[in-house]
Structure 1
Amino acid sequence: MDWTIITYLGIVFATLAILTVLLKNFSNNVFSYVVAELIYGCVASYAALKVAHDFFMVFTLLAIGGFVGGPIFLALCIHYSRKKFKLMAGVNAVVLVCTLAVAIDAFLIEPHMLEIKRHAIVSDKLDTPLHVAIVSDLQTDNLGDYERSVFQTVANEKPDLLLLPGDYIQTMNYQEWAVERDKFKQTFKDLNLTPKYGTFAVQGNVDDFSCWQQLFTDVPGHTFEQSETVSAGPVDITGLSFYDGRNSELKYPKKDNNNKFHIVMAHYPDFSLGKVEGDLLVAGHCHGGQVQLPFYGPLMTASNIPKRWVNGDVVLLPSGSKLIVSRGVGMERQHAPRLRFCCRPQLIFVDLLPSKIKPATKTMMSPVVSSWDQRSEY
């Protein structure tokens, strides 16, 4: 365990010990509970800011303060107030149950509660239907059953194209990364994951410049180190470089004058704010915010695009291009808290259809695969 976390836990438990003495000696004074709440909240927050050695560690420590120390503190308040202040004890009991429920959902359930989202996009630039899978932000440090099940789902769909908008493996050092690289490549091999027109991948912000392409040395398709356009059967695919994807003022006209359907992919979605010629723009990075609040949405998205764009929906841009920003299938690793709340991981399938085929023909041929599937037509 990280010494930063051990230090923070020491501060939290020392504070709880002091507050136990306070509440025990002044349990008949209602203001003692208010003072105790202020003390715990201030100490837990201030200690997280002072002890953490990076941005994401602050949130990890705050999560520990809220979901480990918080329930213990609430239990103390309930214990000492239950006889004289029954209403307060009841309110604290409700808060305790809600806190535990949120923790169970955010840390244990939702991170693996994969949502499958389906879109149909019609274009007169297409002569034949194309089934496209988008797998964004795998971002794992231990490729296991969950990650394999994601790729198994993709393999079962038999996509014509597999688009990977970056962030594949996030480990602390190259030795750990190499282990996960081999597992990643073996997964593709075991599942015989070979889309008809190939797999296309760009670099994410957790992917090392010098070695990320090793993941795809045996995978038919193309990895984009620099911004370029390649042909993939009936469509053209432009993969943007790491830096071009971050550029919200990017100007990237289509290189060829042909009338093929044009997909533009990058890790960061910021390029969609620029002048980029493409029929479908694809990105990841934002994780949907990873934590969303009801009626508010993502707390943060690490991007300049509007937060309503990061849910994996098809967004119609003023230019006429359509944008899909996936919530991703993984989550932030290393020093970040490993949670998702009101923001399930997401696997996206897009049916690109010729205008002569009605959208409903393909998307509604069969009933919804599971209660987590969502379908839309454009």
Structure 2
Amino acid sequence: MNRRTFLKRSLGSLLTLLGLSGGTYFYAREIEPSLLTITEESITSPQIPAAFNQFKIVQFSDTHLGFHYDLEQLESLVSKINNLKPDLILFTGDLVDEPNNYHWNNKLIQLLQQLEAPEGKFWIYGNHDHGGYGTEILYETFEAANFTLLQNSASRIQREDASFVLAGIDDAMLGDPDISQALEERTDSDFTILLAHEPDLADVVKNYPVDIQLSGHSHGGQVRLPFIGDLYTPAYAEKYVQGKYTISDKLTLYVNSGIGTTRLPYRFLCRPELHVFTLHS
């Protein structure tokens, strides 16, 4: 940790200790974690086929079920996503906080099954999904819910005679990501979206033919203070924390702030977030 980061986090921790008390503490723990923000973004590219004009994609991420986020809250989220009428639904990792301690049941599968998108539902592993011996049970859960895993692989999203490439890589912390393998069936003319749990991988992804990277993992910092910003973000989410980043002439990164919380059950100036992307040819 460099000196600037150390001072930022030390000052932030002090202000948090002093400020998150009374009404502010109640707000950060009980109110803001339930205040969902729906962020709408337009993606325009000459590589997007006309058949996909006004195509709607919903991304959600980092629910961390079991850590102050339950199935009743997930049920409400499923309803909100379906009300958006997406063509495609994407989950970018960390469904459950501690897979080895979570009470797995069919209700979770049923809720994920209820998500509706005519062009499919796709997911990638996050670090918490692999952690706690969760790799297999996460796969079985999403498979039963009709989600398609993108683990160093891609799917061609087809409409009429047109298509674009949706690729995904394994988690960078506890998995084995391989961008080249994920993109091996891509052609030079394909508009390409890559799902990568950790946003800081964008500095590597920019060297590959990817147009859009969608990530989560950071929780947007979860607790943010004026003039300071985020107090803490995990490894591989220290550079790109929240929102939209232009990485290169080719690559644009969007970092989702996630739905649930982890480590601490607080959100402050960092609401849970759904992303809605609309494609324009």
Number of the residue aligned with 1:219? 145
Mapping of residues 226-245 of structure 1, within 5 Å:
226-233=151-158, 234-243=163-172
Q: Which amino acid counterpart does residue 187 of structure 1 have in structure 2?
A: L
Pick from 246, 262, 277: which aligns with 1:350? 277
TM-score, structure 1 as length reference: 0.61
- Quote the Cα distance in structure 2 between the aligned partners of 1:300 and 1:276: 29
- Quote the Cα distance in structure 1 between the aligned partners of 2:172 and 2:233: 18
- Quote the Cα distance in structure 1 between the aligned partners of 2:112 and 2:176: 32
Mapping of residues 122-141 of structure 1, within 5 Å:
122-126=44-48, 127=50, 128-129=52-53, 130-141=55-66
Return the offset for 1:310: 2.1
- Quote the Cα distance in structure 1 between the aligned partners of 2:247 and 2:174: 17
8 A Cα contact 2:152 2:181, kept in partner: no
Structure 2 gaps, min length 5: 1-12
Pick from 290, 295, 317: which aligns with 2:227? 295
- SS of structure 2 residue aligned to 1:158: coil
8 A Cα contact 1:245 1:270, kept in partner: no
CA separation of 1:258 and 1:320: change in aligned 2, threshold 3 A: closer
Number of the residue aligned with 1:370? none
8 A Cα contact 1:227 1:244, kept in partner: no
Number of the residue aligned with 1:33? none
- SS of structure 1 residue aligned to 2:201: helix
Measured against aligned partners, the alpha-carbon deviations of 1:193-229 in whole angstroms (never above 9, x if no partner) come to: 23111111001111122221122223344112x3112
Matched, 1:145 2:67: no
8 A Cα contact 1:280 1:323, kept in partner: yes
8 A Cα contact 2:170 2:178, kept in partner: no
- SS of structure 1 residue aligned to 2:128: coil
- SS of structure 2 residue aligned to 1:349: strand
CA separation of 1:145 and 1:321: change in aligned 2, threshold 3 A: same
Structure 1 consecutive aligned stretches of length 4 or more whose deviation exceeds 6 Å: 244-253
- Quote the Cα distance in structure 2 between the aligned partners of 1:296 and 1:149: 33
Number of the residue aligned with 1:259? 189
- SS of structure 1 residue aligned to 2:136: coil
CA separation of 1:305 and 1:217: change in aligned 2, threshold 3 A: closer
Q: Structure with the greater relative contact order (CA < 8 A, sep ≥ 6): 1 or 2?
A: 2
Matched, 1:117 2:39: yes
CA separation of 1:287 and 1:205: change in aligned 2, threshold 3 A: same
| Aligned length in residues | 252
Structure 1 gaps, min length 5: 1-61, 71-94, 355-378
Matched, 1:166 2:75: no
Number of the residue aligned with 1:209? 135
Matched, 1:183 2:100: no
- Quote the Cα distance in structure 2 between the aligned partners of 1:251 and 1:296: 37
CA separation of 1:247 and 1:323: change in aligned 2, threshold 3 A: farther
Q: Which amino acid counterpart does residue 241 of structure 2 have in structure 1?
A: V
Query: Which structure: greater helix fraction?
Result: 1
CA separation of 1:166 and 1:305: change in aligned 2, threshold 3 A: closer
RMSD of aligned alpha carbons: 2.8
- Quote the Cα distance in structure 2 between the aligned partners of 1:245 and 1:272: 18
